[in-house]
Every structure is written in C-alpha cells, then in structure tokens.
Amino acid sequence: MRQVYGAIAVDPRHRDLHVVESGPVEARLFAGWLMCARSAAPGEAPVPAGGFRPEALSVEGALMLLQILSGLESAALAEEDGG
C-alpha cells in the first residue's frame, strides 16, 4: 500500500491527500476500474443538498460514492462499445 500511496502522492493531479482507512483487504473492490476522469452529465451522480464536500464523507460514504462512479463509468464504456 505504501508504494501505491507514494505514487499517488507525487502525482500532480492529486493534492491535499488524507488516508481515511488503512489495513488488509480480502480482495480489490475496483480491480477493473482505472478511475479515469469523465465529465458526468447533470443529474447523473447524486449531489448532496449542501454541495459536494468529500472531506465530510465517512469511509462508508466515500466507498458508496466510488461504487456509484465506477458503475457510471462501466455503463458509459459499455454504451460507447455498443451496448
């Protein structure tokens, strides 16, 4: 994990990093997702009434958000590939 975090920390696309949870895992949750940036269409992803504040997310909330984004990306890629 330290090697991956080190690579992320020196990448200029990332800033103000905070580790919210660390420990052993049974399996990768997002093995097939490259976490590439893609613009979401308005209304495509849920946004809380107070706006998007990732620093206020719990570990569970952050995981749920990542699962939603991963699903949206998978659906968009499948649509681009013809269904």
Residue spans per domain, the chain: 25-83
Instruction: Compute CA distances 21 → 28, 31, 67, whole Å.
Output: 15, 18, 16
Task: Output the tens digit of pLDDT for each of the chain's 83 residues.
Answer: 678 889 989 999 888 888 888 888 888 888 877 776 666 666 666 677 777 787 888 888 888 888 888 888 888 778 877 75
Burial call 34-59: b when 16+ CB within 10 Å, e when fewer: eeeeeeeeeeeeeeeeeeeeeeebee
Residues 69, 44: Cα–Cα separation, whole Å? 10
What is the SS3 assignment for 39?
coil
pLDDT at site 11: 92
pTM of full prediction above 0.75: no
* Residues belonging to the chain: 83
